[in-house]
Amino acid sequence: MTLQRPPVNSLNLDLLKEMSKSLDEIAKNKSKAMILTSASPKVFSAGLDIMEMYKPDLKRVEEFWTTLQEVWFKLFGSNFITAAAINGHAPAGGCLLAMSCEYRVMTGGNFSIGLNETALGIVAPNWFMDTMTNTIPVREAEYALTTARMFNVEEALKVGLIDEVATDKDDAIAKCKGFIGKFDRIPALARSITKLKMRQAAIKRLQDGRREDLNEFLQFVQNPKIQKSLEMYIQSLKKKA
């Protein structure tokens, strides 16, 4: 699955809906595995589209968050094997997508990956945190989340946020295929049940608290102080360009 929403693959409602549909198709056509990557030469995904949260239409922003939850359920909780070929920056929601896969290969270069929410004055939702603690040790996750740490490629490898470094996108995809090939001699049902048991606690936490999570998000986007911060953040991103 190749993310292709220039310039930075920010996750807006339309892209999330497309992803959700594609994940359904992959599950339905009984694919063995999926590799998630990006068509951009330098950004895997810039995370959530800030414009979806800025001065939002309430109905749309509710659908936006619900669709994000759905994409996470379908990706994190998939039966099929998932790997991410991270060929560029992966901040926040971009990191969430990569961590929701089972294996991550990142191309070397001046790219960064991490959950930077606290730097934006945002508390990452529990399921973002659960996805991180499913990937790297709890102590490292707490440190990274509280300090909004963006890891460079070497740091990400050292902490286990990524599994391998690749020279370029083709190499990243080849290495993801290498990971997928490891399952050729492992019974598929045993593999998928084991994966889902490992992920069950995080999945159940969001299933049980899904409405509450949505309400927290809706309160968050309707808070005038948050709106002001988003406005300043958007300006800072635009000034940079």
Ligand X SMILES: CCCCC/C=C\C/C=C\C=C\CC(=O)SCCNC(=O)CCNC(=O)[C@H](O)C(C)(C)COP(=O)(O)OP(=O)(O)OC[C@H]1O[C@@H](n2cnc3c(N)ncnc32)[C@H](O)[C@@H]1OP(=O)(O)O
**Site for ligand X, rule CB under 6 A:** 7-8, 10, 42-43, 46-51, 89, 91-93, 116-117, 122-123, 125, 216-217, 220, 237-238, 240-241
Closest CB to ligand X among residues 173, 218 = 218
Structure tokens at 199: 């992920």
State residue 89 phi and psi, 5-degree precision: -60, 145
Give the residue nearest to ligand X (CB): 47
State residue 116 phi and psi, 5-degree precision: -105, 20
Q: In what order do the strands lie in the sheet with 90-91?
A: 90-91, 112-114, 151-152
Closest approach, Cβ 138 to ligand X, in A, equals: 20
Closest approach, Cβ 86 to ligand X, in A, equals: 12
Find residue 38's DSSP bridge partners: 3
Closest CB to ligand X among residues 26, 230 = 230
The full DSSP string for 95-145 is: HHHHHHSSEEEEE-SS-EEE--GGGGT-PPPHHHHHHHHTTS-HHHHHHHH
Catalytic residue among 3, 68, 102, 116: 116
Closest CB to ligand X among residues 140, 213 = 213
134 is catalytic: no
Instruction: Assess contact for 94 and 45: CB atoms under 8 A.
Output: yes
Catalytic residue among 3, 36, 48, 68: 48
Catalytic residue among 117, 145, 161, 230: 117
117 is catalytic: yes
Instruction: Assess contact for 88 and 38: CB atoms under 8 A.
Output: yes
Closest approach, Cβ 147 to ligand X, in A, equals: 15
Closest CB to ligand X among residues 103, 217 = 217
Residues tagged active-site: 48, 93, 116-117
